[in-house]
Amino acid sequence: MIPTSFSSNIIMSNDDDVSSSVTTFIKASRDTLMQTLSQQQQQQQAHTSSSSTSILPHFVLGNPAGDADSIISAIGLAYVDTLFQQQQQQQQQQQLQITDDNNNNININNNNNNNNNTTISSPLLVVVPIVSIPISDLKTQRPETTYLLKDCAGMTDHDLDSLIGIDDLRTLDFFFTQNVTVTLVDHNRHHHHHHHHHSNNKNNKSETDTDTVGSGWHVTEIVDHHRDDGYHSDTCIVRNIAFDGSQPLVASTCTLIVERFYQHQQHQQQQQQQILIQQPLQWPPTLSILLLGVILLDSVNMLPGKGTPRDGVALERLLNDTDWTQSTLPKDITDSTGKPDPTKLFQTLQDQKFSKSFWNGLTAIQGIRMDYKKFPLLELPSSESSNEYLGIATILQDMDTFWNKDNVIQSMVQVIQEDNLQVLALMHTFLQNGGDGGGDGDGNVTAVTKETNGKPCRQLVLTSLDKDRLQKLVQYLTKTNVSVVDDDDDDDSKNNLDDNSTDDDLELTTVTSGQEHVVLEEELVSCSDLPAAAAAAVVVYYVKMNQGNVKASRKQVAPILTSFWE
């Protein structure tokens, strides 16, 4: 389903023909956004009311982790909507010209206040993609995404600065106090980027009760492939969430953007059957290559169990419906005709994402924050604070290599304290040539393809400052007894399993060999240098496990972990 209108009414100049490239679109949307801010500041100085939403843009925002899917799907959705807005306005102008020249009976209703069911109303609306991480982090900590944007779509570092990052919005105070509308992509619950607020009423999942980007912002659309948490039902007009039961129906949100393109196209063709048929809008190559790359990356080159039929259709249509002669792509990702070679493109992106030198160059805290999401725990007992979270970080290194970095445990404590976490989970995801079990400690990983024997591997570390809670969580996940290294305190949980063990089997086994039950490790950590420290030192507990079910990514692991609190 496509939204019939947006609640904003800001005009993008007709001279800004964005069909040529992603770069042109990004610059045009930023320029118009800055013009809008300037106008609002002038109105405020003149003591003119500026509370109307009719002059505000519509934002598209990915999830806080800011991975390739979130960033590119936000750009892609905003670009696709803008392309079809411009095409529709051009068609309206042509229809008016036909009426003037031929004096025919074509009925063109040019009243902007009509109630017809057009996809985009005139004048053009500004749909602005927001990068959900600072642009500086995009440049330095998202190698696969910057490869797509720069090497494939032709953007420069200066062009990347034209993107609106979440840190840019922090400096635009006006947009944090206005009733702008937002489309969420690659997630379905809005999270504030300054502070956290939760309602104690679980059943009232309105936008005002949850974390929001800014006071007064309204989520009017969701395009996602994660489990629907049911938020924003009071403001959200459209919920396109490709998730059923316990499984996503697409590997990538970018697949949904491809589908949106053709939904727009079909909708416009139906409207124009008796008026004016134009050549269908073609894919801009710079947009096609971005979407193509992310879908390949998220589906692991259509690996069985990862890619879905809808992903396959999206890839085929991008490859076949794009005029690749109009693009200049790196030769190492194309075939002899200049068309993208899916396997070559995937391997290149995978190499960028799993780059040994890149990950070795990150500090422990950077590695944890690289691809990190936190999930609210709304089922805590009433006697406890409801403002608590589960944090899950995806780390593309084997456990041994990552844990050889300096200050790993202290960095985990820092994240736990800064984000008020009950538990922090590190999901070590890596690719190994041959062998069994975990990594070899040397970071010897390679891209996995259909033609190589690269083996996906997963390991899981669970960390908490609450020993009892962590023990019970591990029991819940593994259905085994749990003890603590060198802990002589009496603890009934050593010998008694909870009855509410999960049926979802991650096939977790302790890394520590020779133990009859899972063993928690504990360590005293100095907090004197930690920003959010509430004590001079804390005891942290953690357990390292191999995850035999390698198909279970964060999409599947997060609901399993959060179900412990339900």
What residues form DSSP beta bridges with 166?
none
The span from the CA of 298 to the CA of 152, in Å, is 18
Counting every residue written for the chain, the total comes to: 566
The span from the CA of 137 to the CA of 166, in Å, is 11
403 pLDDT exceeds 80? yes
533 pLDDT exceeds 60? no
pLDDT at 282: 81
pLDDT at 239: 94
Q: What's the pLDDT tens digit per position in 38-74?
A: 777 777 677 655 444 445 788 999 998 899 999 999 9
Cβ atoms of residues 220 and 7 within 8 Å: yes
Cβ atoms of residues 61 and 4 within 8 Å: no
Look-up: residue for tokens 């025919």?
104
Domain annotation covers residue 46? no
Mean local confidence (pLDDT), 320-336: 93
**Average model confidence (pLDDT) for the chain?**
77
Mean local confidence (pLDDT), 139-158: 95
Cβ atoms of residues 323 and 282 within 8 Å: yes
pLDDT at 377: 84
Mean local confidence (pLDDT), 14-34: 77
pLDDT at 532: 54
pLDDT at 531: 59
Domain annotation covers residue 109? no
119 pLDDT exceeds 90? no
Cβ atoms of residues 186 and 69 within 8 Å: yes
Most confident of 84-88, 225-229, 239-243, 418-422: 239-243
pLDDT bin (cut points 50, 70, 90) of residue 289 is very high
Mean local confidence (pLDDT), 350-379: 89
Q: How many helices (H) and strands (E) does the chain have?
A: 16, 16
Of the listed ranges 18-27, 290-299, 502-511, 537-546, the least confidently predicted one is 502-511
pLDDT bin (cut points 50, 70, 90) of residue 522 is confident
Mean local confidence (pLDDT), 206-226: 67
pLDDT bin (cut points 50, 70, 90) of residue 459 is very high
Q: What's the pLDDT tens digit per position in 461-480?
A: 999 999 999 999 988 888 75
pLDDT at 114: 47
Domain annotation covers residue 464? yes
Domain annotation covers residue 376? yes
pLDDT at 38: 79
The span from the CA of 240 to the CA of 546, in Å, is 35
Task: State how many domains the chain has.
Answer: 1
Domain annotation covers residue 7? no
Nearest to 119 by CA among 6, 39, 217: 6
pLDDT at 40: 72
Domain annotation covers residue 334? no
Domain annotation covers residue 450? yes
Cβ atoms of residues 338 and 327 within 8 Å: yes
Most confident of 370-384, 396-410, 445-459, 506-520: 396-410
483 pLDDT exceeds 50? no
Q: What is the CA radius of gyration of the chain?
A: 25
111 pLDDT exceeds 70? no
Helix-helix angle 309-320:253-271, to 10 degrees: 60
Cβ atoms of residues 474 and 520 within 8 Å: yes
pLDDT at 218: 86
**Which CATH number fits the domain that encloses residue 424?**
3.10.310.20
494 pLDDT exceeds 60? no
Cβ atoms of residues 362 and 402 within 8 Å: no
- Residue numbers of the domain that contains 405: 363-565
Evaluated on CA atoms 316, 322, 323, 325, the torsion sign reads: negative
Cβ atoms of residues 309 and 295 within 8 Å: no
Domain annotation covers residue 512? yes
Mean local confidence (pLDDT), 377-381: 54
